[in-house]
Structure formats: C-alpha cells, structure tokens
Structure 1
C-alpha cells in the first residue's frame, strides 16, 4: 500500500532548479516504499528522508 507521506516527495510542481534538489529524494522514497514492508522503521526512514529533502531544497533556494 502506498504510504501517505509520499505526497510530500512530489517535485513536478517545483521550478526546475528545485526539482534538481528534490527529485532524487522522491525517487528513493518511492523505491523504498515499494521494496520494504510497512512498519515503524520504514515510516521513520521515510520521515527522516523527507526532512533531508526539505533541507536540501531550502539550500537550493539560496
């Protein structure tokens, strides 16, 4: 089942220079969601990946 957090990894709506920072995280998040069993560790991993993605996108704004 697709994890609801994946919606926060969408990047298509971003300007191109921010897509460059965001896309690898979205791709990885979707792959991990597909490959791993649901559970607390997967949920935590996706949450931390989202935090990292947000940091790198903010860094790309500067």
Structure 2
C-alpha cells in the first residue's frame, strides 16, 4: 500500500487488510484488484467516516471474491 503517513488511524488500520502478496494464484489476482481500488480511493479521497465505511465494505467484498475464487480453484477446470 502507498505511503499512509499522516493518514487517519482508521484509514491506516483498514488499509493493511488489502495486502495480497502472501496469497497464491488465482487468489492473488482477485485480491490485488481490490487492493488497487482501495489504494486509488485512499490516494484521492480525504480521510473521514465515508472513506472508512467504503473501505470496510470493499474489504468485505474482497473477502467474498477471494472465497469465490477459492471455490473455483478447488473445483478445478470446467
């Protein structure tokens, strides 16, 4: 994640959950897309309750997308 120095503790606290490097493919690609959007929003929006809420909802969505990719990977090719 980009430099978060000087950002609100709520923004910093949730940003760390968008890390994706530790995941295996294809989960990494799915998670990276959400990471990139979170990074863009943090870079272009001011700190505040709406940014924090939006990041929290994006994090929830990312978790769902990663689980969907995990289910697909476990099923194998179709």
Q: TM-score, normalised by structure 2?
A: 0.75
Q: 5+ residue gaps in structure 2?
A: 1-6, 72-78
Selected match of 1:30 from 28, 39, 51? 39
Q: 5+ residue gaps in structure 1?
A: none
Which residue matches 1:16? 25
Question: Which entry has the higher C-alpha Rg, 1 or 2?
Answer: 2
Root mean square deviation, CA, Å: 1.0
Q: Could you say which structure has the higher helix fraction?
A: 1
Query: Residues of 1 paired with 2:17 and 2:32: CA distance?
Result: 11
The Cα shift of 1:3 comes to 2.2
List structure 1 segments (4+ residues) > 3 angstroms apart after TM superposition.
none
Structure number with greater CO (CA < 8 Å, separation at least 6) is: 1
Count of residues in Structure 1 that have an aligned counterpart in Structure 2: 62
